[in-house]
Chain A
Amino acid sequence: GQQLNQSPQSMFIQEGEDVSMNCTSSSIFNTWLWYKQDPGEGPVLLIALYKAGELTSNGRLTAQFGITRKDSFLNISASIPSDVGIYFCAGQLGFSGTYKYIFGTGTRLKVLA
């Protein structure tokens, strides 16, 4: 199946550090979504982006919809131990009746206290 290029694949950081991850694709997306998944649970939506260039924050999280509509990034500021988990980007392709979601391969984040 299709997947988005998400990087980095994993990262270890110190508590308090800022984190940045991104997703790129050769396809143009209508919507970008960022999820966090904890072990044994389903993904939880963090941020949804609907317009090219849009910059949206949710607490310590900030995400942007790339101008080309082919990429997006997520920043986490001042990381804390509970930020540990896998972060996925997802893009929506197409329109009602024909659309689908494509997911990134995930960024596994580990925070060292």
Chain B
Amino acid sequence: DSGVTQTPKHLITATGQRVTLRCSPRSGDLSVYWYQQSLDQGLQFLIQYYNGEERAKGNILERFSAQQFPDLHSELNLSSLELGDSALYFCASSGLLANEQFFGPGTRLTVL
């Protein structure tokens, strides 16, 4: 158990819909990272937040957005969903060493 929690574990929705994925980092970690893992694209870094502020941005689509709240939990919002958005979405957190990230169990999103 990494100490990072993600909800929900599974999510099934339809094209065009909007969903919110939630992540709680390990106790004391200020950084949260979001990743997408799909069969054709592999693991893709989406975005990082540090103590409520956006710190780095990767391959995140404009239809996706994220935020980190004062209690340090984070949410990833995916809108206008397409079939290709079906993937595993992982959240990770880190402390002072940004590269030493602890991953959560992931949310499996299925868009029908």
Check: B45 CB closer than 8 A to any chain A CB.
Answer: yes
Check: B57 CB closer than 8 A to any chain A CB.
Answer: yes
Q: Which of B42, B45, B90, B100 contacts A100 (CB 8 A)?
A: B45
Residues of chain B within 8 A (CB-CB) of A88 are 43
Are B56 and A42 interface neighbours, CB within 8 A?
no
Contact flags B72-112 to A (C-beta < 8 A → 1, else 0): 00000000000000000010100001011111111000000
Residues of chain B within 8 A (CB-CB) of A31 are 99
CA distance A70 to B7 in the complex (A): 36
CA distance A104 to B97 in the complex (A): 21
* Docked complex: A68-113 residues within 8 A CB-CB of B: 88, 90, 92, 94, 96-106
| Chain B, Cβ-Cβ closest to A33 | B99
Q: Which of A40, A45, A98, A103 contacts B42 (CB 8 A)?
A: A103
Are B103 and A42 interface neighbours, CB within 8 A?
yes
Binding site for A on B (CB under 8 A): 2, 4, 41-45, 55-59, 90, 92, 97, 99-106
Q: List 29 A-B contacts (CB under 8 A).
A: A1-B42, A1-B44, A1-B59, A3-B41, A31-B99, A40-B105, A41-B106, A42-B90, A42-B92, A42-B105, A43-B90, A44-B2, A44-B103, A45-B101, A45-B102, A48-B99, A50-B99, A88-B43, A92-B99, A94-B56, A96-B56, A97-B56, A99-B56, A100-B45, A100-B57, A102-B45, A103-B43, A103-B44, A104-B42
